[in-house]
């Protein structure tokens, strides 16, 4: 028995070694009756539906509701469930950290590309690059400057290293002048990069 879908070439270029290995593993799991191609596709589709807009809704709720923010920082799984975002039991633990006037967090995965896909979707290419993974640790302020961000000179910059068991989501500082804005309007100010910590939220 083999997987039901075929291996296609894109623009007549052969698949990468990693992609071929992935297809081979999928076929082996199907052959042993542990997984079907439909189950794999279901998981892929579910992940593709995740976008930074999911995380932006969470940040906007935290900005608008101090009680929710406290619960999110203390127990992200339960707080997310309040918004109808239910994390599967096998999902790595998600820690939400808050940027303040005195502390700014930047997230990196120094070993590979661990990332809160459940709220941000697929990681950007630069997040997976060797250059970012190395420089974010050595020179986080320099990296942020390249993204156009500059935390206060006296603010502490903390670099958080994601792992297979732990993911991080940054709660950026709420921009000034957003009093009275709806959650939907606030969510429009939250970017993927601000939830990684390399930038702040957009200004209204």
Please give the positions annotated as active site: 109, 112-114
Return the bridge partners of 94, or none.
167
Residue 27 token pair? 């076929």
- In degrees and rounded to multiples of 5, residue 36 shows phi and psi of -110, 160
Residue with tokens 């990069």: 193
Q: What whole-number distance in Å separates Cα of residue 62 and Cα of residue 178?
A: 14
DSSP letter at 156 equals E
Length of the chain counted residue by residue: 204
The DSSP annotation for 55-112 comes to: HHHHHHHHHH-HHHHHHHHH-HHHHHHHTT----TTSPEEEEEE--SSEEEEEE-SSS
Pairing of strands 93-98, 166-171: parallel
CA angle (194 as vertex; 53, 47 as ends), nearest 5: 35
């Amino acid at each position: 028995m083999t997987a039901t879908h075929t291996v296609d070439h894109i623009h007549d270029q052969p698949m990468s070694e990693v992609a071929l290995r992935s297809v081979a593993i999928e076929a082996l799991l199907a052959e042993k009756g542990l997984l079907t191609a439909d189950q794999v596709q279901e998981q892929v589709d579910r992940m593709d539906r995740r976008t930074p807009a999911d995380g932006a809704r969470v940040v906007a709720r935290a900005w608008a509701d101090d009680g929710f923010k406290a619960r999110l920082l203390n127990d992200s799984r339960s707080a997310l469930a309040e918004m109808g975002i239910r994390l599967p039991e096998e999902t790595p633990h998600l820690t939400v950290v808050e940027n303040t006037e005195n502390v700014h967090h930047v997230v990196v995965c120094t070993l590979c590309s661990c990332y809160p896909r459940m709220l941000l979707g697929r990681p950007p290419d630069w997040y997976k690059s060797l250059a970012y993974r190395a420089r974010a640790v050595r020179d986080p302020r320099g990296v942020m400057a390249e993204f156009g961000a500059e935390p206060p000179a006296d603010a502490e910059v903390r670099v958080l290293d994601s792992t297979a068991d732990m993911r991080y989501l940054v709660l950026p500082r709420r921009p000034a002048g957003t009093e009275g804005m709806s959650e939907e309007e606030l969510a429009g100010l939250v970017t993927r990069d601000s939830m990684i910590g390399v930038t702040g939220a957009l200004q209204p």
